[in-house]
Amino acid sequence: MSELTTIARPYAKAAFDLAVEKSEFDQWSEMLTFAAEVARNETIVDYIGGMHSAEKLTEIFISVCGEQLNELGQNLIKVMAENGRLTALPEVCIQFLALRQDYEKQIDVDVFSAIALDQAQLDAITSKLEARLERKVKLNCSVDETLVAGVVIRAGDLVIDNSVSGRIRRLSDALQS
């Protein structure tokens, strides 16, 4: 997987640089997301893995994507096909979106709670996390019925476990040490 990451990095960076230059983040995000889905399609995967010329691969891929790709997006597909890298498109999309989030100082945060949180609670969590992380926070909330009470918050490598089971576990660790 790290090889795919290394392969995808220059393509994601090039697409990101173009998006910054032309202020087209949304358009590039949509194009790359769509192209990544096409690249994941079983029929396309088989076709990419076959013995086809770069021109034929480009033609087929662009015809499948249709009007979803602008001229620069089509050029990216052409270059990736010429270098035999179309299988890396999903990773290019992931890296592009990560670069965009970093550039726009955004972070996705997963919030797991025992019950559904009301808007006031969500606003409080958002404001505290934005102050702590110095980023714009987008909450992805879900209910985890295994939690007795409280919340578990995951933002990248940061995990804040404010659940009852987490508190009990920390208390147990403290008593054992």
pLDDT digits (tens, 9 = 90+) for 118-147: 899 889 988 988 888 888 888 888 888 888
Query: 175: exposed, middle or buried (C-beta count within 10 Å: 0-12, 13-18, 19+)?
Result: exposed
Q: 7 with 93: CB under 8 angstroms?
A: no
Given a contact cutoff of 8 angstroms between Cβ atoms, the answer to whether 109 and 129 are in contact is yes
Q: What is the pLDDT along the chain (177 residues), one digit of tens a residue?
A: 578 778 888 888 888 888 888 787 888 888 888 888 888 877 777 767 666 676 777 777 777 777 887 888 888 888 888 887 878 888 888 888 888 888 878 888 888 988 888 899 889 988 988 888 888 888 888 888 888 788 888 887 888 888 888 888 888 888 887
| CA dist list (Å): 146 to 9, 51, 132, 151, 166 | 38, 50, 27, 11, 12
Domains of the chain: 2-102 (1.10.520.20), 105-176 (3.40.30)
* pLDDT number for residue 47: 67
